Amino acid sequence: MFLPLCLATLALLAVTLLPLWRNPHWLIRGMDFPRLQFSVSAILLLFVHLIFLDLGDANTWILILLTLACLVWQLWWIAPYTLFWPVEVEKAKDKGPDRRLTIITANVLASNQDAESLLTLVKKHSPDVLVTLESDQWWQDQLDILESEMPYTIKCPLDNLYGMHVYSRLPLDQSEISFLVEEDVPSMHSLLKLPTGERVRMHFLHPAPPSPTENPESAERDAELMIVARSINDSGQPVIVTGDLNDVAWSPTTRLFRKITGLLDPRVGRGMFNTFHAGYPFVRWPLDHIFHSRHFTLHSIHRLPPIGSDHFALFTELSYTPEQGSGQKGLEADRSDLS
């Protein structure tokens, strides 16, 4: 029994240490994603060690300590996305509807043809902004019915899994579709006008993931996030970034993005809100994100019911309350982060 458990402990140690290498290969970067699953595996492995191994043997305690160290390291990354952590974004206190901004972020899955499920959610929640990822011309044809109530749009239908659409009840100005890193992977940028007259910089992103079928390394995804991050840094404007970043909330890349931008994550202290994979309950992590500047506080955030995609949609209700939110603090950048 000792040998199989020794091999299991070494495997856990390997997946824990590999991300420290900072190699951009998709296999290494992918180890950032299942930290919750690795934590659960470490807990189970600890119980097995305690039950089946001789606690009087020094080698047993080496395995236990290695497993415990792996568990603590994995939990360090994901702990902010649990209820045990202080919230980063305050609960909104205002009741004025003209200061509220509601957003649905939905990766629809290009091959999914259940548009009615998404349209039903839009009808039920009446978001101010709907952003869809992986939406092609077929999806645009289905979603254009929303234009009667959401007349402000940005459209980029593509059949390569990187199409993107924005439908808004609120005015959009200076809208732009950019191809920041790859010529077939768009991002969208616009100024949204709140009913109170304030303008909010909106960035809608869906960088390509590091994977064996797309980019073998994370360089393209990371580069797009850093380009947007540096454009936001010290802008002083109200800012919201949302989309499928093809990265988890706790990864070094996403953390660096937040450090450079100073943006807040409303999930901190509230939960992970795992949006992918909708079909596999035990293999899920947060790929769809929303970050915002200190100008906003939070009314609510929750994951919506299935829409036939491999992602769940994310619903967020923010409030423009710069006075209340001025004291909010996110991750802070040091000199090396900004170099």
Q: Give the whole-angstrom CA distance, residue 58 versus residue 327.
A: 50
Q: Are 190 and 178 in contact (CB under 8 A)?
A: no
Q: Are 161 and 109 in contact (CB under 8 A)?
A: no
Residue 115 lies in a domain: yes
pLDDT at 157: 98
| Residue that terminates a domain, selected from 22, 47, 81 | 81
**How confident is the model over 59-66, as a mean pLDDT?**
96
Question: In which band, very low, low, confident or very high, does the pLDDT at 3 lie, cut at 50, 70 and 90?
Answer: confident
Residue 87 lies in a domain: no
Contacts of 197 (CB under 8 A, 6+ apart): none
Omega into 165 within 30° of 0, i.e. cis? no
Residue 92 lies in a domain: no
Same-domain status, 309 and 230: yes
Q: Are 135 and 112 in contact (CB under 8 A)?
A: no
Same-domain status, 187 and 334: yes
What is the pTM assigned to this prediction?
0.95
Domain that holds residue 54: 2-81
pLDDT at 339 over 70: no
Q: How confident is the model over 156-215, as pLDDT tens digits?
A: 999 999 999 999 999 999 999 999 999 999 999 999 999 999 999 999 999 999 887 788
Same-domain status, 59 and 200: no
pLDDT at 135: 98
Contacts of 78 (CB under 8 A, 6+ apart): 35, 36, 39, 250, 272
Same-domain status, 126 and 163: yes
Radius of gyration of the chain (CA): 21
Same-domain status, 155 and 43: no
Distance in Å from the first CA to the final CA of the chain: 50
Same-domain status, 131 and 272: yes
Same-domain status, 48 and 168: no
CATH code of residue 119:
3.60.10.10
Same-domain status, 35 and 106: no
Of residues 99 and 96, which shows the higher confidence score? 99
Of the candidates 105, 9, 14, the one whose C-alpha atom is nearest the C-alpha of residue 49 is 9
pLDDT at 60 over 80: yes
Residue 86 lies in a domain: no
pLDDT at 23 over 90: no
Distance of CA 195 to the CA centre of its chain: 27
